[in-house]
Amino acid sequence: MAVQKNSIVDFINASVAYLLLDVRSPAEFEHAHIPGALSLPLFDNEQRAIVGTTYKKQSREEAIKIALPFFGEKMRKMVELVEEWSKNFEKEMGQKPVLFVHCWRGGMRSAAVAWLLDLYGFKVIQLQGGYKAYRNWVIKQYSKTCDLKILGGYTGSGKTETLHALAHAGKSFIDLEGIANHKGSSFGALGQAPQPSQEMFENLLAEAIYKHQKLNAPIWLEDESQRIGTVMIPTSFFTQLKNSTCYFVQIPFEERLNFIVNNYGSFDKESLIGATQRIQKRLGGLETKNAIEAIQEGDIRRAFTILLKYYDKWYDKFSKANKSMVAENNLSSIEWLEAERVDPIKNANLLLGL
């Protein structure tokens, strides 16, 4: 019996309990993959290079001959690994999974593994078009019109925490900084896991957009620059973000300073100094020197007073640019809200009352 083939759209909307198996090489998987996929490489990185080169320079038939010994020696291990995953899934979910299998273009690699697993007795579906079709689906998500609400505020306003409080109250929220593993500023990588590749960031964001759009409710996001650390928000979606109403919560400087000191003051001096040096050109030589001296002396509050004034200045420039854009193009609006302190629950309730 031939293995069933489904489109990426069918997979995205699948209601069955499944395991997603990515049979591309470890390097391909590590660079980016469909969120939730398990890596089950048919070839290692070197073997993939050998087979690919043979395919391009000689023929499909020669590539298959080269590949057969690689596949043959792995068959049993692949079956046993999938069997282990399947048993764990059944124990946790109370039912056997359907196996979705894919490679780069839904070609020979996924066909071979799907055949093997089907032969062993698993319920297997091969994804047509493979990961390439998935990437096409990802890109389409960014051109869809979304109903967005943007939370703005100076650095140290607790915007992310406020948005999480909104999510707890039942509102849709996409955590851009959470997906990026970066809090946006020069200090944003401190305490975070390594950032995903640009491609993986796009995959994760597309899945979040799709999930929340299905709820037919406004999606809250934090006001961000297009670059978050090393990754970029796709331009089409970033344009929508900037053209949406921004709710700018204004909180007194001292309150924000307290929040920043509490959140960043525990990091080691070397990390704080390194983050400060990364903004030296914009902060200026004297202020950089003063901030670093304060960190070395253990006066974290004085250091962050200097740094927070710097970030406020840059945010003011951004706000003026936004006001100009609103006036000239009538694209979006800014609503200014006053808050007494950095209190995520109270400030979330302020936004819920709009």
Architecture of domain 146-352 in CATH? Answer: 3-Layer(aba) Sandwich (3.40)
pLDDT at 1: 60
Which one-letter DSSP state was computed for residue 247? E
Structure token digits, residue 61: 């038939």
Establish whether 246 is a catalytic residue.
no
260 by Cβ neighbours in 10 Å (0-12 / 13-18 / 19+) ranks as buried
Q: How confident is the model at residue 197 (pLDDT cuts 50, 70, 90)?
A: very high
Q: How confident is the model at residue 186 (pLDDT cuts 50, 70, 90)?
A: confident
pLDDT at 254: 96
Range with lowest mean pLDDT among 16-20, 128-132, 133-137, 329-333: 329-333
Q: How confident is the model at residue 45 (pLDDT cuts 50, 70, 90)?
A: confident
Q: How confident is the model at residue 199 (pLDDT cuts 50, 70, 90)?
A: very high
Range with lowest mean pLDDT among 35-44, 60-69, 337-346: 60-69
| Domain span(s) for CATH 3.40.250.10 in the chain | 4-138
Full-model pTM: 0.90
Helix (H) or strand (E) holding 275: helix 269-277
pLDDT at 70: 66
Q: Which residue has the higher pLDDT, 354 or 33?
A: 33
Q: How confident is the model at residue 300 (pLDDT cuts 50, 70, 90)?
A: very high
| Domain span(s) for CATH 3.40.50 in the chain | 146-352
pLDDT exceeds 60 at position 159: yes
Among 103, 179, 209, 233, the active-site one is 103
Instruction: Specify whether the CB–CB gap between 31 and 200 falls below 8 A.
Output: yes
pLDDT at 330: 45
Instruction: Specify whether the CB–CB gap between 240 and 170 falls below 8 A.
Output: no
| Pairing of the two strands 231-232 and 227-228 | antiparallel
Structure token digits, residue 253: 């400087």
Mean pLDDT confidence for 173-185: 94
Over the stretch 310-341, which tens digit does the pLDDT of each residue have? Answer: 888 877 765 554 444 444 444 458 899 999 99
Q: Domain 4-138: which CATH class?
A: alpha beta
Mean pLDDT confidence for 19-34: 97
Nearest-angstrom CA–CA distance, 249 and 351 = 9
Q: Is the dihedral of CA 337, 339, 344, 349 positive or negative?
A: negative
Q: Which residue has the higher pLDDT, 58 or 337?
A: 337
pLDDT at 115: 92
pLDDT exceeds 60 at position 351: yes
Measured CA to CA in angstroms, residue 132 lies from 5, 34, 128 at distances of: 15, 11, 9
pLDDT at 75: 87
What mean pLDDT value characterizes the chain? 90
